[in-house]
Structure 1
Amino acid sequence: MASASASASARRTRRALHLSLGFGMVCGLAAATTAPAAAADPIVKAPTLMTLRLDAPTAYLTFKDNSEPDTLYTITLTEKDNPGYTKIVRQAPGGVPGTGRVATRSATGIKPGVAYCATIRATVHYDYSDLNPYELEDPDTPESNKVCADPVDASKPQSAPTDLSIGPVTGEAKPPSGTSRNYWVAYSNKGADAKGVVLEVWATGPMKLRRPPENGTFSGFTCAAAGASGFRCTGGTVKPAEKGSIPFLISVTGTGNGTIHASITGSGDANTADNASSFDFEAIPRVV
């Protein structure tokens, strides 16, 4: 019902925009009449900024999207102790489905060792269904709340927000059919303790899991097979600055192309942009 209500509201607003534009063209007041209508639209709401992580030269923002359909985001960064200094303004892709979803976007150009404050706003697309020769610009939401953060200190990872990441998946790029091969999935944490971590690996193509990793050997994970070609490890604890690599054994069941996928998740992860990785392979005929 909420979706239908939002859709109906959007249609009402678009009609109001059209009427405002038509009246404004006659009276020479188009800009004055269209702006309030866009601002009042319930689908044009500012994002809610949740976390900011500064790992120069990149800033990572985690936020809740409150607008639909968003086409892009504009990130504004100012130095915390020198707000009058030149602002850093960057655009990031939109496309977060629906509303209320948590997403991560990044902006480059920050200085190392400098604290910053950030806001983010969305641009919302209007799809005009009525006939109107005067196309209106897509409106921007108001800016989000402001969040400030200190830069990541590489020598003190425990003081930084949790940042789990999946490194490269490594192994043989052209495994022979009918053989067994080992592959490795690297993982790490740049910030504070990450508990209850879940790591998942699965393959598409001519591969079948032969043996999942041993339980408890890697950061306390408990691993079990998940489907015919993957596994799921749960309950891991990845400490600050810890790096690890989980090996797994697969059987190459045929020939052709495929991909190994890996992902990692954990509560409090401040940067989800680096939580997945993949490895393309081509299984080839075995030479006897």
Structure 2
Amino acid sequence: MAPAKRARRVLHVSAAGLACALAAVTAPPAQAAEPVTGAPTLMSLRLDAPTAYLTFRDNSEPDISYTIVLTEKDNPGYTKIVRTAPGGVPGTGRVATRSADGIKPGVAYCATIRATVHYEESVPQPYELEDPVTPESNKVCADPVDASKPGSAPTDLSVGPITGEANPPSGTNRNYWVGYSNKGATATGVVLEVWATGPMTLRRPPAAGTFSGFTCAPSGASGFRCTGGTVKAGEKNQIPLLITVTNAGNGTVHASITGARDANTADNGASFAFQAVPRTP
């Protein structure tokens, strides 16, 4: 008897299914986002023994920790103080403050800061990869807070909020008010600048000496610059921007404040957006 023939099973695959299968085989594995390893920008240093406070702009992502290095200003070769601070600043370009303990009272220090960034390899490795560390930031030095010399204590100037009409009518005169304050020691020689971009022109600067002793003069077509102000500890005040709305359109009111020994420069600028509208008859 002739042997029975074994039937063959034929698998039918559509063209679309074959394309998907091939793509699954040949597609490269998903790549993890590359870490950003820019060095932090150190903005200010405040020494209030036993703690040093560093305010900086973060330029890395995703940061998992920071390393702070402090050296004595007059003895740079002396033993360094190295401290680790927590990371977790979201994104890049944001301003943050971290602290380090262990400084001596009455001693001036210089500081730098760098970030450790998490690195995750998309392809498994036989060994664990080391997380990259950013370059060191710029160096900032500071003198200590001296309770016996109030003039050496840090100031903390800030500007804002700016208030006024969001939709001023064209062809009218309007006032915008710029707030400013000082949460630190008395600040002298303060400089305050206010200006507008867009459909505005300056009517006149604030009267000299009316606001914290500032002397103000026009700056450009739509702003003024005030110098020589004294903003006392805890003082809060407002200064007006007196303008004429020239025509309809978008614009912004800007302000900045500066002074010596400012412990935190992250809040030294503010802005307020407006949209001038046609004047109703």
Q: Does the alignment reach a TM-score above 0.5? A: yes
2:169 corresponds to 1:172: no
| Counterpart residue identity of residue 248, structure 2 | T
Residues 225-268 of structure 1: per-residue CA shift (max 9 Å, x gap): 00001110011111100111001210000001110000001111
Residues 114-153 of structure 1: per-residue CA shift (max 9 Å, x gap): x8889731469xxxxxxxxxx99744347999x9xx9xxx
- Give me the TM-score of the superposition, normalised by structure 1: 0.56
C-alpha distance in structure 2 between counterparts of 1:260 and 1:208, whole Å: 11
In the alignment, which residue of structure 2 is the partner of 1:51? 45
In the alignment, which residue of structure 2 is the partner of 1:194? 187
Unaligned runs of 5+ in 1: 1-43, 78-86, 96-103, 125-134, 151-156
Task: Please tell me whether the aligned partners of residues 162 and 178 of structure 2 are also in contact (alpha carbons under 8 angstroms).
Answer: yes
In the alignment, which residue of structure 1 is the partner of 2:96? 106
C-alpha distance in structure 1 between counterparts of 2:253 and 2:228, whole Å: 22
Whichever structure has more helix as a proportion of its residues is 1
C-alpha distance in structure 1 between counterparts of 2:157 and 2:250, whole Å: 29
Unaligned runs of 5+ in 2: 1-37, 69-83, 104-110, 118-128, 145-149
C-alpha distance in structure 1 between counterparts of 2:248 and 2:137, whole Å: 52
In the alignment, which residue of structure 1 is the partner of 2:199? 206
In the alignment, which residue of structure 1 is the partner of 2:208? 215
Identity of matched residues, %: 59
SS state at 1:201 partner: strand
C-alpha distance in structure 2 between counterparts of 1:49 and 1:187, whole Å: 20
In the alignment, which residue of structure 1 is the partner of 2:237? 244
**Closer, same or farther in 2 for the Cα pair 1:64/1:255, shift >3 Å?**
closer
Query: Aligned pair count?
Result: 202
C-alpha distance in structure 2 between counterparts of 1:236 and 1:161, whole Å: 16
Task: Please tell me whether the aligned partners of residues 195 and 236 of structure 1 are also in contact (alpha carbons under 8 angstroms).
Answer: yes
Task: Please tell me whether the aligned partners of residues 159 and 191 of structure 1 are also in contact (alpha carbons under 8 angstroms).
Answer: no
**Closer, same or farther in 2 for the Cα pair 1:50/1:173, shift >3 Å?**
closer
In the alignment, which residue of structure 1 is the partner of 2:74? none
C-alpha distance in structure 1 between counterparts of 2:43 and 2:247, whole Å: 48
Residues 182-236 of structure 1: per-residue CA shift (max 9 Å, x gap): 1110000000111111101111110111111111111110100000011100111
C-alpha distance in structure 2 between counterparts of 1:139 and 1:247, whole Å: 47
C-alpha distance in structure 2 between counterparts of 1:179 and 1:64, whole Å: 41
Q: Once superposed, what is the RMSD of the aligned Cα atoms?
A: 4.4
- Give me the TM-score of the superposition, normalised by structure 2: 0.58
